[in-house]
Chains A and B, each alone.
Chain A
Amino acid sequence: MASPSLSAPRLSTRLRDGAAQRLVPWLLPLGIVLGWQAASSAGLVSTRFMPAPLDVIAAGWQLGRTGELWANLWVSTLRALAGFAVGGGIGFALGLANGLSRASDRLTDTTVQMVRNVPHLSLIPLVILWFGIGEEAKLFLVALGVFFPVYANTLHGIRSVDPQLVEMGRVYGLSSWSLFTRVVLPGALPSIFVGLRYALGIMWLTLIVAETISASSGLGYMAMQAREFMLVDVVVLAIVIYAGLGKLADVLTRWLERTCLAWNPAYRTV
């Protein structure tokens, strides 16, 4: 324990202290934004194609004040969550069923594997034909996209639970339900979280694509509208918001992992 801190240079010891440590990951994005602003102010970058960060903030402020931004953000979030709940729920349930029952696996896994190889965004024309540009189309696409990573990782997690632990649970007289809740599910959880992370990424991706192509509200729609009127700052604002939402989803999953997987040394906070 003592040797690394002794051999480490003084700078890293200082950085390790408190807030400094937490700021490090933000140095790079901050530097890029400052450089960008400097380049725009100096006239090196045409603001017709790339607005200055301050213009983007101004656009955000403007749209926030009229309430347009929040309305679109809210609509997109609802769609994302609804699609995630439906697709993730079905994927999780089917993953559990196929992990626990040979018969269910025989019946459905081949089909799922076949459908999985179809890029779900390729269904957009079909989905528009079926549902028009209503809410169902977005919900369907997000649910379909989210389904596969949740399904595959839940199944893998259950299959990879240590059989020795399952045998121990049986010998020690745990009921099937206890065996599931105390041995199988916690054992599958790390893998289920991997699926969750993938699914959250796919959720945003699918939604934005769907909203860009066919929608009358939402963040993707807002960006497309702005393109029509050459409002570059609003387009960039939308992209920055996607980055923020992605980071938020990541922070939430990390927090969930740390809470649920505290037993696992790999997930413990250092």
Chain B
Amino acid sequence: MTATALRVHDAAPETVPVQKPADRPAKGTAPRARPPEATGGLAVTVRDLSKSFDGHTVIAGLDLHIPVGQFVAVVGRSGCGKSTLLRLILGLEQPSAGRVVLESDAVRAPPKRIMFQEPRLLPWAKVVDNVAVGLGETGTRAERRARAASALAEVGLTDKSANWPATLSGGQRQRVALARALVSRPGLLALDEPLGALDALTRIDMQAMIEAIWQAQGFTALLVTHDVAEAVAMADRILVVENGHIALDVKVDVPRPRRRGDPDLAALEGRILDHLLQNQAPA
């Protein structure tokens, strides 16, 4: 079904250096120690990837490498192909040409998970059972429920576990969706504008929560967003996608925890916005 070649290398190939900003592991915001099993992030390698829909090219010969554990944000104007790129990497779409390789150092490759723009919770399943969906068919029902309960605790919704999704607020539903994505300890978490529909304050809370969990678990994160400020606040690296290829690839060398309104972040945000607006002008 999926186009993604999921290959597990026992010996890490040369393209999988664990590149992390020097300041990341030690500093303050990580609320808990990294659990021992959560070391297997997935590295993403994209080679000459193309995708067209009905003769219209959306992704045109794109190359990309994302090392294990990196937090990458993909920004771009709507229709630039950023969501398609994410869906191709996840294997939700078949590439027209080229390939996507996901690699892991772990013996058993960790799963890849996606958080959609909508929560996509099953309205007929209690919150805890919705989270357990993230475990697929692994283990017994009781085991799945127990793991789901601990994932719910991570997003601070233990007291809602027996609720129907219809009784939750928008932000709470997206937190349940986050717990569902995280419960299987993914090696790659793709976020397809998951915070777009939330109010500004809830969004900031969610950004901090996702950042903290990412720091604690060390998965590779791929965030597609139209909000440049969000990208700058959360990511190690920002990709600007234009006309189906990567137009700009910048590292965000600002130590964490990052403060909102930091001048370096603001400068970077301005630079990316300038780029996005400039390239649109002639069209």
Instruction: List A residues at the B interface (Cβ < 8 Å).
Output: 164-165, 167-175, 178, 182-183, 186-187, 189, 261-265
Enumerate the 9 nearest inter-chain pairs by beta-carbon distance, A residue then B residue, closest first: A173-B136, A186-B124, A263-B124, A168-B120, A263-B164, A263-B123, A265-B166, A164-B120, A172-B133
User: CA of A263 to CA of B124 in the docked complex: distance in angstroms?
Assistant: 5
Q: Which of B55-63, B109-117, B272-280 contacts A (4 or more CB under 8 A)?
A: B109-117
Least Cβ distance of B218 to chain A in Å? 21
Q: For A170, what are the chain B residues with a Cβ–Cβ distance below 8 Å?
A: 1
| Partner among B118, B123, B124, B137 whose Cβ is within 8 Å of the Cβ of A173 | B137
User: CA of A26 to CA of B114 in the docked complex: distance in angstroms?
Assistant: 53
Q: For A189, what are the chain B residues with a Cβ–Cβ distance below 8 Å?
A: 124
Contact of A175 with B137 in the complex, beta carbons under 8 Å: yes
Contact of A174 with B124 in the complex, beta carbons under 8 Å: no
Contact of B120 with A182 in the complex, beta carbons under 8 Å: no
Q: Contact mask B1-34 → A, CB, 8 Å, 1/0?
A: 1000000000000000000000000000000000
Is B122 positioned at the interface, with any CB of A under 8 Å from its CB? yes
B: interface residue count bin: 20 to 34
Contact of A182 with B133 in the complex, beta carbons under 8 Å: yes
Q: For B1, what are the chain A residues with a Cβ–Cβ distance below 8 Å?
A: 170
Is B90 positioned at the interface, with any CB of A under 8 Å from its CB? yes
User: CA of A173 to CA of B136 in the docked complex: distance in angstroms?
Assistant: 5
Q: For B180, what are the chain A residues with a Cβ–Cβ distance below 8 Å?
A: 172
Contact of A174 with B116 in the complex, beta carbons under 8 Å: no
Provided the pairs A164-B118, A174-B136 are in contact, do residues A182 and B92 lie with their beta carbons within 8 angstroms?
no
User: CA of A167 to CA of B133 in the docked complex: distance in angstroms?
Assistant: 13
Least Cβ distance of B112 to chain A in Å? 9
User: CA of A250 to CA of B127 in the docked complex: distance in angstroms?
Assistant: 31
Q: For B137, what are the chain A residues with a Cβ–Cβ distance below 8 Å?
A: 173-175, 178
Q: For B165, what are the chain A residues with a Cβ–Cβ distance below 8 Å?
A: 263
Contact of B166 with A169 in the complex, beta carbons under 8 Å: no
Contact of B136 with A167 in the complex, beta carbons under 8 Å: no
Least Cβ distance of A267 to chain B in Å? 11
Contact of B125 with A182 in the complex, beta carbons under 8 Å: yes
Q: For A168, what are the chain B residues with a Cβ–Cβ distance below 8 Å?
A: 116, 120, 133
Least Cβ distance of B84 to chain A in Å? 15
Q: For A261, what are the chain B residues with a Cβ–Cβ distance below 8 Å?
A: 124
Instruction: List B residues at the A interface (Cβ < 8 Å).
Output: 1, 90, 92, 111, 113-114, 116, 118, 120, 122-125, 133-134, 136-137, 164-166, 180
User: CA of A187 to CA of B121 in the docked complex: distance in angstroms?
Assistant: 12
Contact of A183 with B136 in the complex, beta carbons under 8 Å: no
Contact of A186 with B122 in the complex, beta carbons under 8 Å: yes
29 sampled A-B residue pairs with Cβ under 8 A? A164-B116, A164-B118, A164-B120, A165-B120, A167-B92, A168-B116, A168-B120, A168-B133, A169-B133, A171-B92, A172-B133, A172-B134, A172-B180, A173-B111, A173-B136, A173-B137, A174-B136, A174-B137, A175-B136, A175-B137, A182-B122, A183-B122, A186-B124, A187-B124, A261-B124, A263-B124, A264-B123, A264-B166, A265-B166
User: CA of A189 to CA of B124 in the docked complex: distance in angstroms?
Assistant: 10
- Closest Cβ neighbor of B119 among chain A residues: A168
Q: For A264, what are the chain B residues with a Cβ–Cβ distance below 8 Å?
A: 123-124, 166
Provided the pairs A164-B116, A165-B120 are in contact, do residues A263 and B125 lie with their beta carbons within 8 angstroms?
yes
User: CA of A183 to CA of B136 in the docked complex: distance in angstroms?
Assistant: 13
Q: For A178, what are the chain B residues with a Cβ–Cβ distance below 8 Å?
A: 136-137
Looking at B116, B120, B124, which has the most chain A CB atoms within 10 Å of its CB? B124
Least Cβ distance of A265 to chain B in Å? 5
- Closest Cβ neighbor of A260 among chain B residues: B124
User: CA of A165 to CA of B92 in the docked complex: distance in angstroms?
Assistant: 14
Provided the pairs A169-B133, A172-B134 are in contact, do residues A263 and B114 lie with their beta carbons within 8 angstroms?
no
Least Cβ distance of A46 to chain B in Å? 56
User: CA of A265 to CA of B133 in the docked complex: distance in angstroms?
Assistant: 22
User: CA of A200 to CA of B92 in the docked complex: distance in angstroms?
Assistant: 43
Looking at A170, A172, A189, which has the most chain B CB atoms within 10 Å of its CB? A172
User: CA of A189 to CA of B123 in the docked complex: distance in angstroms?
Assistant: 12
User: CA of A69 to CA of B227 in the docked complex: distance in angstroms?
Assistant: 74
Least Cβ distance of A242 to chain B in Å? 35
Least Cβ distance of A140 to chain B in Å? 36
Q: For A262, what are the chain B residues with a Cβ–Cβ distance below 8 Å?
A: 164
